[in-house]
A and B are shown apart, each in its own frame.
Chain A
Amino acid sequence: MIKRSFFGLVKPKLQYEIIDEAPAEPISISASKQILLLIDQFPDSAGNDLFKTGDEVRRGQKIAMADDAPAYLLSSQSGQISKISEFVGMLGKKYMAVTIDVKPDAKRDVKSDAVRAVDESFKKACQAPSLDNAAKYLAGLPGKPDFSVFSDPEKPVKAIVVCGVDNDLLTTTNQYVVKNNIIAIKTGIDLICKISGISHAIMVVPQHLEQVAGSSGAIVKTVDSEYPSAHPELIVQHILASDDGKSMSESGIAFFSAEAVSAIGAAYNTGIPPLEKIVTVITKDGNKRLVSAPIGTPLQDILSEFNETLNEGDRVVFGGPMTGTSVFSTDYPVLPDTDTIIIQDKSQITERDDIACINCGECVRVCPANIQINQLIRFLEAGQYEEAADQWDLFSCIECGFCSYVCESRIPIFQHIKLAKHTLESMKAAEEINA
């Protein structure tokens, strides 16, 4: 954990992780017995009639609530569905949790099994790649590519931005892919440009990868290594706005992570969607290692690979230290957007507090969105969310978590912000339904 520096005259800085010259190969981990897939549930997609317990699934097969559901995952293993249940995540978000028992023989020979078993319909789609079949088959790839931006009629997409930067501290997944797989990224970029008809592709990388990124064929932009400058919203504001002016931030931009782009390229080229996710794992002793694990691999398997034992009160974070989510069970799986897993010992956890804001101003100094958090937090703590949104710029927040990191009163500011936004949004949604 990065502590407050001794000198506090200038505003605190947090640096993104920079991958060193020759990154070690990721450690391959396979799911030992089961994989678990968490699939977004939408209010109108309740009830699942496509799958039931006992069904056989093949590697690469799409697991969805309904045939045309926008959210789905691809099973990374062949096996048999052993359980379907509901899982409730942050702020009451619901998921369908599908447990798949990995078939023993599938484990032994993943490669040939995969080739044999992959969904024939996707193979057919590979003949004629299009946005439609990308959205239909590839949204479950590692890196979680989001094709829905292309279908927003209000905001026609003008540019494709490939993020070779990682969106949180400690994470090195995207940098690793840029360093090792630039050819695949190039293939992916070409493909996305072709199927979307958009030729304006930009690749955003940390400074030290500028050279490497050059061979992707896209326009290369760099961001500095200070958190949170690699945040998509800030990339739009600071990096893209500078040459295209305002028009850029107002039109649609399709963001893809470097990992997703290389996976899209590989999927279309080979007909087999890659389903191994590259994850940066940080163990209790602070060591960082890259891991390649099939999507759905439960935390337990990763822990045993590193001989980590969890004790009462420890914390496991999926995602980076600033924006991740802590999980409550060792069954929790690697998902397409799990870039980082942090295992924290109980002693490394700083307790939050319920002291009022002392107006020290640290948060205001670090906020990239220029929000007056010292005022905002007073309204949030009082539950006056509307005032917070109208007068104190609640919705300008880009959710970087920096304010909570520096707060001297140790107020969980970020949590208050998330809760306020969620409450207002669900109120708005309810009004729309009633209207």
Chain B
Amino acid sequence: MHSTLKLTVSHAPFWHNGSSISSKSRNILLAGLLAVIPGCLQYGIAAVGVVTLSIASAIIWELVINFISRRPVSVGDGNAALIGMMFAMMLPATTPWWAVVTGTFFAVVIGKEIFGGIGANPFNPAVLAMTIVMVSWGYLFDFNAALLNYQFDFNAVYPLVLSKSFGASAVDSFALTDLLMGKQIGGIGSTFGIGLILGGVYLMLRGYIRWEISISFLAGVFAAAMGFNFFNPELYAGPGFHLLTGYTLIGAFFLATEDSSSPVNFIPMLAYGLLGGVLTVLIRNTGVHIDGVLYAILIINLVNPIIDKIRPKALGKGV
């Protein structure tokens, strides 16, 4: 049985649905642009600079690691670019270049590559990096101070700071529709609510992010904020405010849903999202930190392996 014709021989299955990591990254990047572009319009060329530098440096860090560890070049899957963009979306437009580059180093190298690369990171790389730079250079991320030199036609105070220091009544001046339209200060890609929601819905419909996580995260924020507001409406702002300020929306749609650090089973996904949402409000309302999303996500990332143990029995086992 020999012939000169060389046929392709491989293992079943002989079909594939055509999905790939790069198409997933591409779609998430596009969805993210819905929030990034309005952010750039608001903050001008400085924001564009931060975003492009962040994406570029993330890709370069990954290339460097590929080179050092003599592994095949993996930037083609778009994951490094995605991490870079997620990171930039959380930054204020005034972030200095060295903070951006250090941040993407933390994200790509410490957050992802030293754990073994894509799929092996226990924490969302961008969130981890953001937390590190915030702890290290807190003054850079005081949005009020950072964005002082901008002229806005709306109240240019970071809403979460207001509510934290002066209670719920202080944030009455923020109409929810304004918050939704991005009339608030904050990270480059974190404030334009409509864009984030549209992007998130698109990703959920197409199955690029797991809807269970996003929806339950938002539900967690809503329920917890509602509870606080119910007991002390003077002190604690309502659920609408919490849903539309800080990193809530970007957290629910883009950060908590990162593949590697989140569960894959149905009930665990719901528990994971819900816990993240509740923790967010808990930290905002009772903790010392202004925004709770990042810490909440790191905590749920941490418990993810334990939660994901809740799973259906395999076929033929313990029926």
Contacts and interface: CB of A to CB of B under 8 A. Distances in A.
Interface of A: 1-4, 6-9, 12, 85, 87, 97, 169, 233, 237, 246, 310-317, 319, 321-332, 342, 344, 346, 349-350, 352, 355-362, 364-365, 368-372, 374, 393, 396, 398, 401-402, 404-410, 412, 414-415, 418
A9 B7 contact: no
B1 interface: yes
Contact of B2 (A12, A324, A327, A329): A329
Given A310-B5, A331-B1, A7 B206 contact: yes
B12 A331 contact: no
Nearest to A372: B311
Given A326-B9, A408-B20, 10 more contacts: A8-B206, A324-B12, A329-B1, A352-B10, A360-B259, A361-B263, A364-B264, A370-B311, A372-B265, A409-B21
Contacts of A6: 206
A421 B13 CA distance: 17
Contacts, number: 179
B288 interface: no
A326 B262 CA distance: 37
Contact of B10 (A1, A326, A361): A326
Contacts of A324: 12, 14
A319 B15 CA distance: 12
Contact of B12 (A310, A323, A355, A356): A323
B16 interface: yes
Interface string B1-33: 111011111111111111111001000000000
Interface string B190-225: 000000000000001111101100000000000000
Contact of A418 (B6, B11, B206): B11
6 contacts: A246-B319, A310-B5, A329-B3, A361-B210, A372-B265, A393-B314
A404 B13 contact: yes
Given A358-B21, A404-B16, A408-B20, A315 B1 contact: no
B8 A326 contact: yes
A418 B9 CA distance: 16
A248 B118 CA distance: 45
A248 to B, nearest CB: 12
Main secondary structure of the interface of B (DSSP, over half): loop
Given A330-B3, A358-B259, A233 B315 contact: yes
B315 A405 contact: no
Nearest to B4: A312
Contacts of B18: 1, 3-4, 350
Q: Which of B1, B15, B116 has the most CB of A within 10 A?
A: B15
Contact of A359 (B1, B119, B211, B316): B119
B6 to A, nearest CB: 5
B7 A328 contact: yes
B77 interface: yes
A314 to B, nearest CB: 6
Contacts of B13: 321-323, 401-402, 404-405, 414
Contacts of A7: 205-207
A307 to B, nearest CB: 16
B283 to A, nearest CB: 26
A316 B7 contact: yes
A408 B207 contact: no
A328 B264 contact: no
Nearest to B117: A356
A3 B207 CA distance: 14
B208 A314 contact: no
A410 B2 CA distance: 31
B11 A3 contact: no
B119 A356 contact: yes
A321 B14 CA distance: 5
Contacts of A323: 12-13
Contacts of A358: 21, 118-119, 259-260
B14 A317 contact: yes
A85 B260 CA distance: 50
B42 interface: no
A357 B119 contact: yes
Nearest to A169: B15
B317 A97 contact: no
Nearest to A10: B207
B66 interface: no
B153 to A, nearest CB: 38
Q: Which of A350, A365, A409 has the most CB of B within 10 A?
A: A350
Interface string B63-92: 000000000001001000000000000000
Contacts of A87: 1
Nearest to A7: B205
Contacts of A355: 21, 74, 77, 118-119
A3 B17 contact: yes
Nearest to B319: A246
